[in-house]
Structure 1
Amino acid sequence: MNKLLTWMLAALLLCAVAPVAQAQKFGYVDSEFIMGKMPAYTQAQQELNTLSANWQKDIESQKKDLDKLYRNYQAEEVVLTEPMKKKRQDEILKKEQDIKAYQNKIFGFEGQLFKKRQELTKPVQDQVFEAIEKVAKKKQLGIVFDKSGDLTMLYTNPVHDYTEFVLEELGLASPERNQPAQKGAVKSVSTPQTPAGSTDAVAEDAPAPTKTPTRTTTRPATRKN
């Protein structure tokens, strides 16, 4: 159903563009390939990957502390009074909640990783968009498509490829012009071990005690002139 909807939208777009294309020139660029050529973007991705890995290690360390609390509670439960049991249970529950809150703060929607990605990559993306706009004006292009965007381009004639012109505008032109971009290499940071927005990952590693904590619980190519 989604594929059908995509095809219908693409067909409608082409129908809408066709009359304009007869009077105006159009072209396309591969923004992903362009980004991959920019040292600033590659550096930003490396920094994001490092931050993501460090945050993930911090979360894993907190999970180990939670697991230790739970194991100690199980080992000492038989000698604890009811008030002491309740206190220890509350400590474990609070630790679990703190880990979940921290995890969401880092990897959740609009968390620190999301904000840091925007901070590091937006200036580079703006630079690329400005270069595309300059090329479009110089070449008198009425429409510029993005080959690496969501719109699927089933066939592209190299004569309409303006990627190299954008690279020239950025001072990044090379003999290996218009080669296919490495898909996924620079589009996003590596997926952290704890999925973004997950609120159940902590419970898988260290279950919180219940009112009866002794119960067994599963643990966790051709260039245009």
Structure 2
Amino acid sequence: MKKILFLFALILLSWGAAEAQKIALVDMEYILKKDPSYEVMNRQLEDLSKKWQSEVTTLENKAQAAYKSYQGEVAFLSAEQKTAREEAIVSIEKQAYELKRKYFGPEGELFKKREALMKPIQDRVWAAMKELARAQGYQLIIDRTSSKIVYADPALDVSETLVAKLGLAR
């Protein structure tokens, strides 16, 4: 009997502790899409990406043209000329690869630029979230776009409140 009462008391205590926690959900994609500065940032990154891709494509096309020219003239070239032309083609291809890596690699210019442009936006959203959590007593705020949430009560979603707090409501 004592074991059953102890178990029942333990269940009631854990239920009470779980009940005391306040949780909210946010949809960061929704919030960011409402932010005009996020749209401006995306346009800037897209323009920059197109510009850099054009540079890379130009080098790749130059390498292709050099290779086609080489193929057409290979029968008439000496061994030294063949080697020189092959090295020139490989050099152009290497330049294109390095440029692509410099701009689009994991630590490339596009990544750095995105981080730099995104930081002020994220800081503003996170500050608003922190303020909302303190004001409403939330102990946990979960981003529903990055977490694998199977079901969430829509009443827990405070995205609209954050959008209004950030002054982004349109």
The TM-score bracket by the shorter chain reads 0.7 to 0.9
SS of residue paired to 1:27: strand
Distance 1:41 1:145 in 2: 21
Distance 2:121 2:153 in 1: 27
The corresponding residue for 1:91 is 88
Distance 2:85 2:135 in 1: 70
Compared CA separation, residues 52 and 81, structure 1 to 2 (3 A): same
The corresponding residue for 1:136 is 133
In the superposition, the TM-score normalised over structure 1's length comes to 0.65
What do the CA deviations read for 1:134-186 (whole angstroms, capped 9, x no partner)? 1111101111111111x222222222221121112101235xxxxxxxxxxxx
Hey, which bits of structure 1, 4+ residues long, moved more than 2 A?
Answer: 17-21
Compared CA separation, residues 141 and 18, structure 1 to 2 (3 A): farther
RMSD: 1.8
Compared CA separation, residues 158 and 64, structure 1 to 2 (3 A): same
Distance 2:151 2:89 in 1: 58
The corresponding residue for 2:148 is 152
1:68-217 alignment, distance < 5 Å:
68-149=65-146, 151-174=147-170
SS of residue paired to 1:141: coil
The corresponding residue for 1:29 is 26
SS of residue paired to 1:118: helix
Of 61, 81, 90, the residue aligned with 2:58 is: 61
Compared CA separation, residues 88 and 51, structure 1 to 2 (3 A): same
The corresponding residue for 1:49 is 46
SS of residue paired to 1:171: coil
SS of residue paired to 2:151: coil
Superposed displacement of residue 126, structure 1: 1.2
Q: State percent identity of aligned pairs.
A: 33
Query: Aligned residue pairs: how many?
Result: 157
Compared CA separation, residues 53 and 68, structure 1 to 2 (3 A): same
Contact kept? 2:34, 2:169, Cα under 8 Å = no
Distance 2:160 2:31 in 1: 9
Residue identity in the other structure for 1:152: K
Flag the structure with higher helix content.
2
Contact kept? 2:56, 2:100, Cα under 8 Å = yes
**Greater C-alpha Rg:** 2
Residue identity in the other structure for 1:77: V
Contact kept? 2:103, 2:110, Cα under 8 Å = yes
Gaps of 5+ in 2: 1-13
Superposed displacement of residue 112, structure 1: 0.8
